[in-house]
Structure 1
């Protein structure tokens, strides 16, 4: 019995120490290393009640390519980017259900790239549900910047001070050479969607329809993960649903087909997968205009004092970033 107690006590002590170290390594604010991704994925839960007009759901393309504060600056529309790496439709359905506990969004926008995302064993927002357990691995690089507060404070969950609203800033530039035939085969056979994806989308569609939330699908420029077959697969899905539910039309905006001003050699931070700041500004401007054109009820929302305050913080953050443009060539 004594041996059992000793072993159990040892295991508990090790577990407590490990969890404490996980808390230490967790980003405490949105400006800490890894903070924008961590808080972007979960902080929608802590936004002030009924303050968001549009919710963006998707993978890393969303948090790299859409800046809600820029949309607010140009349109007055309040939005939030719920992006997480390798996000799936199943996880998005859970996000949407959780959103409805505190928000009454008028529009839900989903990144169509998620429809062809393989189901990872540990990815999407589920990764952040257990972040404190995985923190020593996810945020191990933070040891260089640890401060005394990291040893005595918990992560700050405060939507009122979240001035990025899910956006992840990057000023890196990768000199990407897009292929000449990218998105050229407009007649490509639609790529089939998995049954599990169709099942999850049916639940998302039903939830939006039931709650009066307009539903739209978009794609953010990502030539390494998108093609005409996928685009036509989504078009077919949208067409089938709109025929079946003519009173609840789904929108689809494929920015991979055409996006004025988007320079593939200047607008990515990596090998044609994620937008940098310049790319995000072009994408965000197009998305904001798309929302204004297709959802007139969003044109003149009431003024939000807190959003004006956060816009100032956002501008200071962008202005004070160290501009370290990196050119990489294939």
Structure 2
């Protein structure tokens, strides 16, 4: 399913879309780092990309969803069910996980043997789908997993995850260590999986391509907090780069600097200014009315994330504009 297919917007999502997972006041302290409190719902039937700097808590959050880590406080519900201890078997059978680095207990087994073992634990195991994926991803069936490259091991884990016919698929930096051709094949397989049925995907990633090609929603994690979630296309239109000047009128520049929506203001020695703003049209109009040269540009992925973090700091943490 795609958000474009439904016509849903981010504002409609919170009230109208069913949640696959809900976190309420979830906290976890790990050494000097603290995660939470997190209040967040992951929309069912969509791909949500969880982005943020390394060390901000993304993998910890994933492991709390898998119940390999327990939160210190708070409540998590999976497909409408909550539990205090380990996930019940019927819930575990609906969740598949692909880690950044494959750790295979079946290293001495071949892909075919490992699949036969895994299939016993998943009532919805699709052997035909598994074999199709191995062929598509070019993973040999009868070679010990320990003899495969890390990329081939990762592709095996990915194929086995999809073969379980999961309701919830958790992908933690799944493209790490893969060449572009292998990841393109995995993207194609994932798109096919989304078209097959009601599956929810949560992916942590640093790669712009993965967000652009996969995500319906993007959530930002910063210093252990979920700073917000936006529909992908909305995010790409949220902030713009505006170049002004050169401008000789210092008072006019000071007035422009106070306009709403401005996140940062980078004055250059020649009198020009580089601005990131969520309201470029207003800034452009005033500049043109005052005969100030102006140019509006879109932002690259890293700059968008930086704007999102700055916006969170200013409006939620009360920090000053840069």
Specify the TM-score bucket, using the shorter chain as the normaliser.
under 0.3
TM-score, normalised to structure 1, is 0.23
Structure with higher Rg: it is 2
Instruction: Give the structure-2-normalised TM-score.
Output: 0.23
Structure with a larger share of its residues in helix: 1
The answer to which structure, 1 or 2, has the higher relative contact order (CA under 8 A, 6+ apart) is 1
